[in-house]
Amino acid sequence: MRRPSKAFLWILTIGIAAVLIAIGLYLYREDKSQQEQLLAELAIAQQTVDDLRATDTSALEAEIAELEDSSHSARSRVAALERILRDYTHSIEIEESLFEAALSTDVTVVHILARPSEPVEREGIQCEQMPVIVLARSAVPPSLINFSVEVTDTLQSAYIERVKMDIPEPLEEEDEDTEQISTIELELSVYFLAQE
């Protein structure tokens, strides 16, 4: 077999080198084009980030703070209304018990005043204390004593803080037709378990 001439080898080498240079240039241009495209996308993303950072969020922050304040205020109002409802419910239960005690002892309840409850701790337990004043009357003074005993039996969480009784002087024989009325005023502290 014949060996190729030197001129042919040179032409072949130059041809291969030209093809390799052409491929290299093509790949370089492709990389350069991709690089320029990525740089353009990066510039757009950076502009978006800068725009977002430059956005004034103080109006949104103020609105969020206002909504949080409104929410806190609403929760406080709900808690206050729940407390009023609990006091109202407790006072109804107390009044029912007092009228039951009056009925069973033949006493007439004239007046009941239940004040709003206060949180207290009693024997290590969180409670609500409701002060109650009861004014009752009867023609027979021992009925009033029986009434006070019946009150503490009916309202087992009630404590009598103060008792004031008014018993009229006995009547003369000629005034025996006049009915004498005795009164008792009880100051109670009624305790309920604290509601969360």
Residue reference for tokens 């609403």: 74
- To the nearest whole percent, how much of the chain has pLDDT over 70? 95
Answer whether 120's CB lies under 8 Å from 83's CB: no
Answer whether 185's CB lies under 8 Å from 148's CB: no
Q: What is the pTM of this model?
A: 0.62
Look at residues 108, 101, 81 and name the one whose alpha carbon lies nearest to residue 150.
101
List the domain boundaries for the chain: 80-193
pLDDT of residue 112: 94
The set of long-range contacts for 173-181, using a CB threshold of 8 Å and a minimum separation of 24, is 179/139, 180/139, 181/137, 181/138, 181/139
For 19-76, write each residue's pLDDT tens digit: 889 998 999 999 899 999 999 999 999 888 888 887 777 888 888 999 999 999 999 9
Residue reference for tokens 């409802």: 85
Fold type of domain 80-193: Alpha-Beta Plaits (3.30.70)
Q: What is the mean pLDDT of the chain?
A: 88
Task: Give me 137's structure tokens.
Answer: 């009357």
For 111-121, write each residue's pLDDT tens digit: 999 999 888 88
